[in-house]
Amino acid sequence: MRDMKRIELTVLSRDVDIVIEFLGRRALMHLSDEDEDDSSSARSSMDAAFVHIRESLDKLASAAAWLEVKLPTEPGESSHFPGEAEDVLTNTITMAVSSLRGREKEQYEEKRKVEEALNEARAFASLDAPFSDLDQLSYLTLRVGHVDPRWHNELRQSLADRAVIVSLGSGEEGGDRILAAASRKGRFALDSELKKMNFVPIAIPKELKGVPAELLSGLEDRLKAVLGELEDIIGRKEKLREEYGNSLQSLTGSYFMAEIAEQLKARLVATQNAYLLTGWVPVDMLNFLVKELDRLTEGRIAVRAYDPKELKRVIDGSEKVPVALKHGAFVQGFERMVFSYGAPLYGTIDPTPVVAVFFTILFGIMFGDLGQGMVLFLLGILAGRRGPAFLSKFRRFSIPLMAVGISSMIMGFLNGSFFTNENILVGPTRALTAFLTGRPVDRILVLMPLPEHGGSVKKLFYFFAFTLSLGVLLNSLGLIINTINQLKLKKYEKAFFDRTGLAGLLFFWYALFIAVRFLLALERPDILTFSFLWMDVWGLVIPLLAIILGPLIWRIVSGERPVFAEGPAVFLMEGMVGILEIVSSIISNTMSFLRVGAFALSHAVLSYIVFRFSEEVSAVSMGPAFGTTMSVLILVFGNAVIIILEGLIVTIQVLRLQYYEFFSKFFNETGVKFSPFRFRNERSES
């Protein structure tokens, strides 16, 4: 566990962004919660800056969404605080996108109106009725006439989405004849606007039936022109994406960085000219931090450092010192497992090395197979930093996977299992045992109580005894860690008299001593006889009395009054309940480790079933090719089920043993994890 110092940084306003950028990139300082500054001038300037940043981010997000550019969700490695150049580039991009986006919207609207008019006109094209009467029969209002070409665009804009204006001259703007089409609802607005433009209607011969071909071709030409415009917009959109895609991403990262900095400044104690940053820094990084900040600010910074023991808030418990752990690669891989339960208190024993070792051992015992362990080991390698990108989400599991893979491979070699096959490892095992002991055996460790395997129920009981011994060891470590932690925290009552302290540890060990004597007497009655001695009474009673009377003794020694905090009756009742609790917890916490042997046996049984089933299938009389194929499929499917399903079950069981049987001994109060201020989250950097 790394030693920590509380530091106060007094930074000038002109340097605060430089300091925040350094802290955010280096992730060295765990910031403390401070009261917000009440300075209205400082607050208003920060609010204005924050609003500008949010507006810029909204503009960039809108432009990126239209261009279909994926934006980052946090600052990148190359992100920096945006300045005037970034603001100009943001406006340039958003204006270009907004202009093209508006043009696209107009053309899609024009396309919709032209298509509606064209479909309506086609519906009446072959109608045997005068063109002049179609206005009475259709939902479409048609007007054909002359308008000065200079007013065509103005007419389109004034009518907007109420009508379609199609030029019927040579080319788009080459003549003064137009076709105007509107719905019946919009006919009055159409006639009003046409009148303003000095529209001169063209007389349509009464003998003309249906919709003239000239009018249809005009609408079709207009639709082609609109589609051409849309194709041009799509091309320009692609060019904008290529030109500004990277800029959109980098600008977004930079504005995210500025947003985080403004949010931090908004909660700092500040004056018009300076800011105060307070937080915790590991001692081994303090000199580097001070030197770098002094260089960046050219000496315009004041730094004060405090030891945790000097701070009243830490002494009275109102503030907890954040905990930062420092381990090698193997143990570091299991830190998340500890922090997922809770952070240890600062100054106490770090349980991560114990967790790493026991998790690896217990998993390997319950999941013993050389081939299946090899799969877990390879998955751990692939999930590492040099593995494929699609496995990057599992990078934090790389070390634990490799560790449990190796332990499973070792256990698999000991019990002679390779992808459930019981014969492949017989040769290597016999060679190794012959070399080491001069007596070759097929399997070093036999879990299945089958005579043909050299196993027996007695050997299985020995294996279960071994798993219980692991439970005794882990429980003892938990009690020892708690006793030492309470002494470090100067909580002597809990250290000496609590059921998870020294008194509980002595009771547990002496009860274990009696149990071992009893079992040895059962095993060798010709040599040993068991008898309950007077020293056994005192060995059990003294620790129990310490647990029951401990609070009373401590209140007398420390001078606390009244001696019975809740009265003699409550004290006596609590004592009786405490005896039952400690006895039941010792038995349950120890016997719980029988599940290690049980799951190891179930793994061996399941592997035995898969292997025997594949052997039986390969021997069927439906042809050797068919039998071999089915045997291989059964082995592949069976091993896949074991790796996935049983692998998850074993993981859950090991976590349960760690959390409930080990952590419960000393994790009575959790600390605070060291979470330094940073621009990028931990997962993106791992």
Task: Output the 3-class SS for 38-83.
Answer: CCHHHHHHHHHHHHHHHHHHHHHHHHHHHHCCCCCCCCCCCCCCCC
Is residue 167's pLDDT more than 90? no
Distance separating alpha carbons of residues 115 and 110, to the nearest angstrom:
8
Nearest to 297 by CA among 53, 15, 621, 543: 15
Domain ranges across the chain: 4-95+236-313, 126-210
Contact between residue 260 and residue 24 where contact means Cβ atoms under 8 Å apart: yes
Specify the higher pLDDT residue, 110 or 301.
Answer: 301
Specify the higher pLDDT residue, 311 or 570.
Answer: 311
Q: Tell me which range, 198-212, 500-514, 605-619, is most confidently predicted by mean pLDDT.
A: 500-514
For the chain, what is the mean pLDDT? 83
State the pLDDT confidence band at 35, using cuts at 50, 70 and 90.
very low
Is residue 207's pLDDT more than 80? no
| 493-508 exposure pattern, b = at least 16 Cβ within 10 A, e = fewer | bbbbbbbbbbbbbbbb
The predicted pLDDT at position 296 comes to 92
Is residue 430's pLDDT more than 80? yes
Least confident of 174-178, 411-415, 502-506: 174-178
Tokens, residue 20: 């925040």
State the pLDDT confidence band at 303, using cuts at 50, 70 and 90.
very high
pLDDT digits (tens, 9 = 90+) for 531-556: 777 788 888 888 888 888 887 887 78
Mean pLDDT of 614-641: 77
Other CB atoms within a 10 A radius of the CB of residue 198 amount to: 11
Distance separating alpha carbons of residues 338 and 670, to the nearest angstrom:
11
% pLDDT > 90, the chain: 32
State the pLDDT confidence band at 134, using cuts at 50, 70 and 90.
low
The SS3 call for residue 11 is: strand
Least confident of 102-106, 299-303, 340-344, 617-621: 617-621
Handedness of CA 547, 549, 551, 554 (dihedral sign): negative
Is residue 130's pLDDT more than 70? no
pLDDT digits (tens, 9 = 90+) for 37-73: 444 444 555 578 888 999 999 999 999 999 999 998 8
Least confident of 146-160, 234-248, 334-348: 146-160
Give residues with Cβ within 8 angstroms of 239, minimum separation 6.
none
Q: Can you give the pTM of this predicted structure?
A: 0.75
The predicted pLDDT at position 61 comes to 93
Q: Tell me which range, 275-279, 423-427, 613-617, is most confidently predicted by mean pLDDT.
A: 275-279
Residue 442's alpha-carbon distances to 369, 406, 431, 433, 434, in angstroms, are 15, 21, 9, 9, 10
Tokens, residue 331: 């143990």
Nearest to 258 by CA among 93, 57, 89, 42: 57
Tokens, residue 243: 């030109």
Distance separating alpha carbons of residues 536 and 508, to the nearest angstrom:
12
Q: Would you report the helix, strand and coil content of the chain in percent, each value rounded to 5?
A: 65, 10, 25
Q: Which CATH class is domain 126-210?
A: alpha beta
Place of tokens 């692939």: 382
Give the amino acid at 312.
Answer: K
